[in-house]
Structure 1
Amino acid sequence: MYVIVEIAGQQFKAEKGRKLYVHRLQGEENSSVSFDKVLLTDNDGQVKVGAPVVKGAAVKCKILKHLKDDKVLVFKKKRRTGYQKCNGHRQYLTQILVEEIVA
């Protein structure tokens, strides 16, 4: 069984026991969070599509840790003018573990 769930504005495929990296969430490590914006459920071929969400469905997760992603470099250059600029950032992420899917 899997579901498509919206977490912090992004859509993820969630299965029981799967770890996901999502944008930074509010909450302490080892605390549990629940997401109720389930867009689709698939239970062994029985597919339910929400309009816009599936009623009564939720995903219960546990926050494992807060971390930073790898560095992303942004390099800008204009040819023949001597213009070069290098910027970079590291995205803040949260690792969560899907514990239960309520459909």
Structure 2
Amino acid sequence: MFAVVKIAGQQFKVEKDQTLYVPHVEGNAGDKIELSDVILADSDGNLTVGDAIKVKVQAEILDHVKGETVIAYKQKRRKGFRKKKGHRTQYTKIKISDIA
């Protein structure tokens, strides 16, 4: 059984006992969360799409981590203008505990 859920504007295909990194979700490590925005669900080959979905996805927050450094570099030619900035995106590591 799998489901496609929407988390912070991104879609993820999830299965039971799967760990994945998603955009930052509020909560502390060890907290249980419910992902209620389910787009598609599959149960033994029966696909359910749209408003008829009655599936709830339970997940557990494992950790909050930072991604790789992304460098934003700007330059204007012949002007001597250079600007270099970077940032690290916040992610949350979650484990899917149940799809019911």
Q: Which residue of structure 2 lines up, in the alignment, with residue 83 of structure 1?
A: 81
Structure 2 CA distance, aligned partners of 1:72 and 1:18? 27
Q: How does 1:1-103 map to 2 (within 5 A)?
A: 1-51=1-51, 54-102=52-100
Output the aligned Cα RMSD: 1.4
One-letter amino acid of the counterpart of residue 59, structure 1: V
One-letter amino acid of the counterpart of residue 45, structure 2: G
One-letter amino acid of the counterpart of residue 76, structure 1: K
Q: State the TM-score, normalized to the length of structure 1.
A: 0.87
| Identity across matched positions, percent | 40
One-letter amino acid of the counterpart of residue 44, structure 1: D
Once the two structures are superposed, residues 63-91 of structure 1 have per-residue CA deviations (whole angstroms, 9 ceiling, x without a partner) of 00111111111111222322221111111
- Which blocks of at least 5 consecutive residues in structure 2 are unaligned? none
- Which blocks of at least 5 consecutive residues in structure 1 are unaligned? none
Q: State the TM-score, normalized to the length of structure 2.
A: 0.89
Counterpart of 1:22 in 2: which secondary structure?
strand
One-letter amino acid of the counterpart of residue 30, structure 1: G
Once the two structures are superposed, residues 3-39 of structure 1 have per-residue CA deviations (whole angstroms, 9 ceiling, x without a partner) of 1101122211111111111122121111111111100
Using the TM superposition, name which of 81-90 and 61-70 deviates more.
Answer: 81-90
Which 4+ residue blocks in structure 1 deviate beyond 3 angstroms? none
